Amino acid sequence: MPNRVRRVRSHAMLLLLSFALGCSETDRTRWLARFGSESAQLEIGQQLIEGEGAERDLEAGLGWLEKAAESGSRPAQKKLVALYRERGLGDDLERAERWLRAAAAAGDAGSQLELAELLADRDPAEAESLLRRAAATGEAEAQYRHALQLQELDPDSPEALDELERAAEQGHAAAAWELSRALLADDPGLPEGERGERALQWLRRAAEADYAQAQTGLGLLYFRGLGFEQDYAEARRWFEKSAAQGDAVGQESLGLIYQRGLGVALSGSEAGRWLKLAADQGRLPAMNQLGVMYSDNQLPDENTADQMAYYISGQGQHVPDKEERLDELAVEARENNDLRAVELLRRAAAKDHPAALTNLARMVEAGRGIDAADPDEALRLYQKAADLGNAVAQAALASRYGGGRGVERDDTAAVGHYEAAAKSGHAPSQYALATLYFKGRGVERDLAKAAHWFGKAAESGVEAAELNYGTLLATGEGVEQNDEEALRWFQRAAERGESAAQWNVGVFHEDGRGGLAKDQRKAVEWWTKAAEQGHSLAQLKIGLAYAQGKGAHRDLAEAYAWLVHSESDKVGQWLQRIEKRLLPPDRARAETRLAELNAAAARRAAAQQSESGTSSP
């Protein structure tokens, strides 16, 4: 007769005997335990360990659990693993591993996972085998961990993707997140077709399962308009979810949303609150951004805020020296904020964060937040940031080498730094580099390269590049002539008020270039816009148009005023002919109109001088 059958019969006989003798439930359990019942041994062991139904006795409890574990009880084996690990005395860890191995060998997926983690460094091959066995049982956590292990060996492992998908289909949020990341494969955009759709599907499932990193990732896609129409409000909704769970990137992103007022009312206080939380977790971009906010005085100074509020409020509004005191507090607040800015920027700069190095260099160069300006330290910081690829720092160095500020002037070095920044997409450097190539300063003159970089700068939104690029396209210098494209850039510049561009648009209308029909009236309209801003050739052309009645009605008084005002040396014969034909009333009108034009020119000159005098160097 099999032993198991004998034990079952013995247990049954004992139960009948215990009922006949009137034994208690505890006594019956003890009798069953003594005669080899696994469940009874487990129960008695737990009672003794926990002190429930019996006086607490850890060693006796462990003894009963050992008996149950020897009989093959997985719960007993797992309980022993936990207890021996927790106690950690003498040979406890060896005992824990023994029972962990026993449970794993019996096919318990959780124990296989735990043992794999224990052996990860000691025996990677066995650990991988255990993870594979656990994953084969369909245990989602095992599939997830096995996939991560496979990805360490091969980031593009198809088997890893399969394991992640199996775990994700069981609702494993971390697996869904990792699967979406693997499908995106660090693509700067979003993969097209089925791969991109699957990435978004698993990303959303992980986010909706409240996985913080996935919520941040989904928010970033909405923020950037990748895979979805750009939607700052939706981005903020996901950032709020992840930020509330403490995700540093979510907190940082939410701070930027509030700082820039994207899809929400601009709020420096909310921006500062979330950026501080991210910075406290060591997020370097958050430290840098928070430092910038303090340096720009976008955040209140805690030391002076209450005092300023008092003077501004009803209580302090009648204080005799209120305005003077407010000015003093504003200066103090600015100094305190500069100190905080430098502290934050130094923390991030110490970790070689390029933007923080650049922003710190600006503060040090200006002597803000430190005892005195230190140009040498600023130059070292700019150089370090430039070496790390920061385009703003590269442009700053280029400017200094080009102007000999703080360094010996070196046009070649300036070109090199501008080129590095331009290749990184720094639009002002693209324009500066184009100008150097156009003038041949620090480099051999090269109109092809000038046209290339003027084009890049124009496409990047540098308004000053539009006219230059359009001119090269119109003349075919350094680039294939293209009147249609030239006209596009001239029109963009002309519509924002660039007088030289307005002149060129007028010429294109006059000559019928760039796909336009010849139209003298349209030409005069554009020349008038340019002339009113002081463009002398446009003034000459308008004068001739009024004199000849081409593109404008014939008006000798208006013609005379514009021709004299243009101060062109080409108007002598025209003025003589007009003067002979001007009647006294027309002559008076011409003199009045000329005075108006001269007065407008004087106002423009005064405004330009004032603007030049107040602008930063």
pTM of this prediction?
0.77
Q: How large is the average pLDDT for residues 488-501?
A: 96
- pLDDT at 317 (0 to 100): 64
148: DSSP letter = H
- Give the Å distances, CA to CA, from 147 to 117, 179, 258, 503: 14, 10, 38, 66
Concatenate the DSSP letters of all residues of 531-564 into one string. HTTT-HHHHHHHHHHHHHTSSS---HHHHHHHHH
Does the structure show a pLDDT above 80 at 186? no
pLDDT score of 256 more than 80:
yes
What local confidence, expressed as pLDDT, does residue 607 receive?
A: 87
The tens digit of pLDDT for each residue in 390-405 reads: 999 999 999 999 999 8
Q: Pick 315 or 207 by higher pLDDT.
A: 207
- List Cβ neighbours of 468 (8 Å cut-off, separation of 6 or more): 434, 438, 450, 454
Q: CB–CB of 29/44 below 8 Å?
A: yes
**How far apart are alpha carbons 15 and 3 in whole angstroms?**
18
Q: Is the pLDDT of residue 14 over 70?
A: no
Sequence-distant contacts of 258-264: CB under 8 A, at least 24 apart: 259/289, 259/293, 259/298, 262/223, 262/232, 262/235, 262/236, 263/231, 263/232, 263/233, 263/235, 263/236, 264/232, 264/233, 264/236
Q: In the predicted model, what is the mean pLDDT of residues 41-52?
A: 77
Q: What is the pLDDT of residues 56-71, one digit of tens each?
A: 888 887 787 778 778 7
* Model pLDDT for residues 575-594, shown as the tens digit of each residue: 888 988 888 888 999 999 99
Domains and CATH numbers, the chain: 1-106 (1.25.40.10)
Give the per-residue pLDDT at 25. Answer: 60
Q: What is the largest CA-CA distance in the chain?
A: 146
183: Cα separation from own chain's centroid:
21
Q: List the structure tokens of 537.
A: 């050739």
> Cα(399)–Cα(617) distance, rounded to whole angstroms?
12
Q: Which of 120-134, 179-193, 250-264, 455-469 has the lowest mean pLDDT?
A: 179-193
Mean pLDDT for all residues in the chain: 88
CA distances from 375 to 329, 364, 389, 405, 417 (A): 29, 7, 21, 10, 19
Per residue in 376-388, pLDDT tens?
Answer: 999 999 999 999 9
Q: Output 83 or 185, whichever has higher pLDDT.
A: 83
The pLDDT value recorded for residue 386 is: 97
Task: Report the amino acid identity of residue 2.
Answer: P
Alpha helices in 476-511 (DSSP H): 483-495, 499-511
**What whole-number distance in Å separates Cα of residue 198 and Cα of residue 212?**
19
Higher-scoring residue by pLDDT: 70, 426: 426
Mean pLDDT over 38-66 rounds to: 78
- Coil vs helix vs strand at 142: helix
Lowest mean pLDDT among 12-16, 476-480, 568-572: 12-16
Query: 126 and 118 in contact (C-beta within 8 Å)?
Result: no
